[in-house]
Structure 1
């Protein structure tokens, strides 16, 4: 044990350094974004002057600044909570309290995971409420009542428990029973669970929160069906979702996997766009499938999760991983001679620490996502009309109060979709 102390001290220093550095970078990026958006608030960019009113441009600027400032608070609060769980001993205290109450074993480990999720959810609750009922309300986007919000919270908590606890129990059982290569079996189980969830989510889970009605506009239905046939795409159904019940934001998306794929339109989207513009937005989504972006993301998820489980498999056996994060590993021996399991501790520490280090590679995934969006735009221009797609995107930018003048460096870190000016310029090139 003493030989592990230097490694633990080194890991503590590394963790603290990366956490602070990440927080500094987040504050720097947010301040750039706020200054850049505020600097361009007074006038609409020339390329959008004929289509975006000044009032809408200023609303988007104010909304962006408000969200970014709130993001600063969230980042600082999140870092403080993380320090509380780790180096300040919160997780260690919770673990020992549950050990004293339940003793060592599967029930104690499941209780630790559940208690961590419950406490974390309660700590995040004020932030969620402020974002929904203050920021979104102030800018006219929130349509939720307190009753609907509470109903969503209860349903999501119940669904999370019904789905999360069994998969957590399976992971813990594999960690304790599948030998040195438990992480490989756990990875296979995790991937199978995610693929199953992709198939059952549209039919069984999503309808718990929203109503999905078959698209009954026969003219639009005929257009959309013809477009999908032209693109070689088959879906199980075309549905309209009551997005306006919760928010004024508009969107369209594909959901499901394999034969369970569905096309879903927000009712707010259909109310705002013309049929040719809806066609263009759908063609963009079809472009992701045509370029196999969805398959690429699934394969990437498989590869990264395999690497993550392998890393977890190694870290879970290193004493410095626990002590370096302020948690004393369970060292007692069970009556049958086996060591007290640390599996739930390892899972929790891994889940909270990986995002700290992963923040610095986020520009890579954001850049890949923006590249995919450009490709999907080009496909939509080829299949429908660049003019319709441009008009639809501008309406969506206006309706969602998305700023037209984001800071370029902020974009590199956070934007999964290219800024409007870049998208329109690329669409013009694709059309030409």
Structure 2
């Protein structure tokens, strides 16, 4: 076996982290190599049971640094190359080549090329500086690897800007590798243990309607996510646990992570309203279809009945996910994009009679609340187990987040300097 072959095998596993969010390895030698590369940037998977077989696969789940890495480079291939470049054996020949390019640029009359190179290198500039004594434009042992990931062998000029991005990203990644991440438990596919499913470090797929295509292809393959280590974004029309008359729509809610998340919000809204100490309003701006809204306004009401428009439904969801260190996969959309993506979720919640839409009174906007029949389900045996035992900390988190948002929008708690800047029109 050539020196390059183990690295080529590693490439295929690393690509899966950006496509599926999870990579699986059966060979222990390959697993050891990945363990070093992925320390601090991907979470190891807990075994499904305590009696793990020696032949059980090793698995890793993409974590925040890997999702951020993908935004720093142009392609999945460059992201994989950056991970490999954290290994000194891969990195050293590439640094020698870039050091040679820097020497070339420093000999030119125009300084723009040198400035551009150093700027592209970013945090890797110190690595290149240390490699200047051994600078050389020569072929490396990683020709096939380079053609696959960089588009050409590293010593050729077209690879230079790509290699600079890769080395810069690798230098940034190195700071995470000394702090291994906590192992992540598998998702409970029935949804009966939301405390396990909505833990720190979990990935949540972007919401998408189940039009039949999600099961056939694409990056969000449902059967690879539901019941594994990622929360699926597909909105299915059936529950993973048997639906009975007593359970009603609750079975469907538990089987669909996005439905559960928005149900927790509407449950928190109902619980807060019962105290008559303020609350959350979910209002629909005029001109929209309530069953397929592009944007739902979120207002927070204080105990004195003062309403503050804080933003949109997606804005609060983003705050919730950030507070629990749960990350949208494969990448975080803008708030406006997420509002649009959540349209099929809202439609499904209304169809399954979990949410209910109410028309506003004269010149008032329509609004969403929990469906009264579903609210009753939440206080029966299974509903109480979910919302008062395993999921209590989840729905309760929406209230302090909404209150903090309301204070931000109202200027409450701002220091005097910030208020002065705002009043003076500086901000």
Shorter-chain TM-score range: under 0.3
The structure richer in helix per residue is 1
Higher-Rg structure is 2
| RCO higher in structure (CA 8 A, sep ≥6) | 1
The structure richer in strand per residue is 2
